[in-house]
C-alpha cells in the first residue's frame, strides 16, 4: 500500500548547500517526490510541528536526561532542573528557534512503506549514532551531548516523519492539497 511521508531539510542542510545531495538519496532509491518547496518557517507552524503536548515533552525530557546520565553531566547545573517536562519544554523551544532560523526545504515523498524506508535513509536522530551511508551519518557529526551542553537542538540535517500517523499530521501541516501532485514515474509505468 502506498504511503506518504514528510522530509524537511533543516536550516543546517540548506546552509551547507547539500539540498541536491539529500534529495538524490531519496530519488536514487526510487521514492517519488509529490510535493516540494523552500520556505522560511514561521514559529507558529514550527510550534504545531513540535507539539506542546505533555506526553511528547516528557518523552523528550526523559531522553535528554538519559543523555546527561550517559555522559555524567548534572542536568540541574546545566539546565537548572531535572524535571523531564520542563526539560522537554526547553528542547522544544530550541527546536523551534532552530527550525525558524533559516530556510527549510519541505518534501512530501510517496511509495509503499515510505515512512520506514525514509527513516533508514536518514539514519539515527543523533548523528554520532548514525550509520555511514545514511544522510545523518554522512553529513553531520553533532551529538546529543554537545547539543544539550550547548543548550541547542541537535543539528542533524533532516527531519523525517516517525510513523504513518505522524506523517499524515505533518502532511496536513506542511502541504496544501493543491500543491500535491499525482503522476507516474518511469518505474511505475514500466512495471504496469
User: What are 5-53's pLDDT values in tens digits?
Assistant: 999 999 999 999 999 999 999 999 999 999 999 999 988 899 999 989 9
| pLDDT value at residue 17 | 98
Specify whether 76 is catalytic.
Answer: no
Q: How far apart are CA 185 and CA 188, in angstroms?
A: 5
Are 2 and 111 spatial neighbours (Cβ–Cβ below 8 Å)? Answer: yes
Calculated CA dihedral for residues 98, 25, 5, 10, nearest 10 degrees: 10
> Residue 189: which pLDDT band, with cuts at 50, 70 and 90?
confident
Q: How far apart are CA 171 and CA 35, in angstroms?
A: 10
Task: State the pTM of this model.
Answer: 0.93
> Residue 71: which pLDDT band, with cuts at 50, 70 and 90?
confident
Q: How far apart are CA 82 and CA 163, in angstroms?
A: 29
Instruction: Between 95 and 145, name the one with better pLDDT.
Output: 95
Fold entry, domain 2-44+90-190: Alpha-Beta Plaits (3.30.70)
Average pLDDT, the chain: 95
Q: How many residues does the chain have?
A: 192
Are 70 and 126 spatial neighbours (Cβ–Cβ below 8 Å)? Answer: no
Are 46 and 101 spatial neighbours (Cβ–Cβ below 8 Å)? Answer: no
Q: Is residue 60 scored above 80 in pLDDT? A: yes
Sign of CA dihedral 139, 132, 68, 94: positive
Whole-number percent of the chain with pLDDT over 90: 83
Are 112 and 124 spatial neighbours (Cβ–Cβ below 8 Å)? Answer: no
The residue extents of the domains of the chain are: 2-44+90-190
User: Given 90, 136, 159, 171, which residue is catalytic?
Assistant: 159
Please state the rounded mean pLDDT for residues 166-187.
96
| pLDDT value at residue 179 | 97
Query: Residue with C-alpha cell 514559529?
Result: 43
In terms of C-beta density within 10 A (0-12 exposed, 13-18 middle, 19 or more buried), how is residue 64 classed? buried
Please state, in angstroms and as integers, the Cα–Cα distance from residue 9 to each residue in 12, 13, 25, 104, 140, following that order: 8, 6, 12, 6, 13
> Closest Cα to residue 174, out of 57, 39, 18?
39
> Residue 1: which pLDDT band, with cuts at 50, 70 and 90?
confident
Alpha carbon 22 to chain centroid, angstroms: 13
Q: Are strands 158-160 and 32-40 parallel, antiparallel or unpaired?
A: unpaired
Amino acid at each position: 500500500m502506498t504511503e506518504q511521508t514528510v522530509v524537511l531539510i533543516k536550516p543546517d542542510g540548506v546552509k551547507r548547500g547539500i539540498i541536491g545531495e539529500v534529495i538524490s538519496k531519496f530519488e536514487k532509491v526510487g521514492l517519488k517526490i509529490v510535493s516540494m518547496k523552500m520556505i522560511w518557517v514561521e514559529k507558529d507552524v514550527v510550534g504545531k510541528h513540535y507539539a506542546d503536548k505533555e506526553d511528547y515533552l516528557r518523552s523528550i525530557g526523559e531522553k535528554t536526561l538519559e543523555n546527561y546520565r550517559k555522559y555524567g553531566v548534572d542536568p540541574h547545573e546545566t539546565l537548572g532542573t531535572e524535571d523531564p517536562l520542563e526539560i522537554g519544554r526547553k528542547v522544544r523551544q530550541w527546536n523551534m528557534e532552530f527550525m525558524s532560523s533559516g530556510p527549510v526545504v519541505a518534501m512530501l515523498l510517496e511509495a509503499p512503506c515510505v515512512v520506514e524506508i525514509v527513516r533508514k535513509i536518514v539514519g539515527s536522530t543523533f548523528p554520532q549514532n548514525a550509520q555511514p551511508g545514511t544522510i545523518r551519518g554522512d553529513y553531520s557529526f553533532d551529538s546529543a551531548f554537545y547539543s544539550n551542553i550547548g543548550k541547542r537542538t541537535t543539528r542533524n540535517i533532516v527531519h523525517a516523519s516517525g510513523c504513518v500517523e505522524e506523517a499524515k499530521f505533518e502532511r496536513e501541516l506542511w502541504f496544501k492539497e493543491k500543491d500535491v501532485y499525482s503522476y507516474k514515474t518511469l518505474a511505475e509505468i514500466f512495471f504496469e
